């Protein structure tokens, strides 16, 4: 009997990675979407508005900041789901693709703002 106990103590049982809170991912993604919504609003805001002078560049800046925040939040989400699942699943691929689209949008807005 002691041999079985020794063997059981020597073998390690694989454990799942600890589940962490998704608060950071959700906050980054929500703030990013709010920035994108503010950028879309500023894009169509009238020039005689009291902040009309700021409208020219603020919508592009909001698109850049929102895209980067959405990319960060969804990238963190996709990474955590990949670590949890251990392989590429639909939610991992969807999170990664939307994060890349957000990054492409932010880069496009930055290039439009520069040139």
Distance between CA atoms of residues 82 and 92, nearest Å: 6
In a domain, 75, yes or no: yes
SS3 content of the chain, % helix, strand, coil (to 5): 75, 0, 25
Distance between CA atoms of residues 113 and 43, nearest Å: 13
pLDDT at 113: 85
In a domain, 6, yes or no: no
Domain count, the chain: 1
Domain ranges, residue 84? 23-114
In a domain, 100, yes or no: yes
In a domain, 28, yes or no: yes
In a structure prediction context, what are the per-residue pLDDT tens digits for the chain, which is 115 residues long? Answer: 566 666 656 666 566 666 667 888 899 999 999 999 888 887 877 777 776 666 677 888 899 999 999 999 999 999 989 988 889 999 999 999 999 999 999 999 999 888 8
In a domain, 71, yes or no: yes
* Phi, then psi, of 20 in degrees rounded to 5: -110, 165
In a domain, 63, yes or no: yes
pLDDT at 42: 79
In a domain, 64, yes or no: yes
In a domain, 10, yes or no: no
Distance between CA atoms of residues 27 and 44, nearest Å: 26
């Amino acid at each position: 009997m002691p041999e079985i106990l020794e063997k059981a103590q020597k073998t390690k049982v694989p454990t799942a990675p600890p589940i962490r809170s998704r608060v950071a991912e959700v906050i980054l993604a929500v703030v990013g979407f709010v920035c994108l919504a503010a950028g879309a609003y500023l894009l169509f805001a009238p020039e005689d508005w009291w902040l009309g002078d700021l409208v020219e560049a603020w919508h592009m800046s909001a698109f850049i900041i929102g895209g980067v925040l959405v990319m960060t939040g969804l990238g963190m989400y996709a990474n955590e789901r990949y670590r949890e699942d251990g392989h590429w699943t639909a939610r991992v691929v969807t999170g990664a693709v939307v994060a890349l689209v957000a990054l492409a949008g932010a880069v496009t807005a930055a290039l439009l703002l520069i040139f």
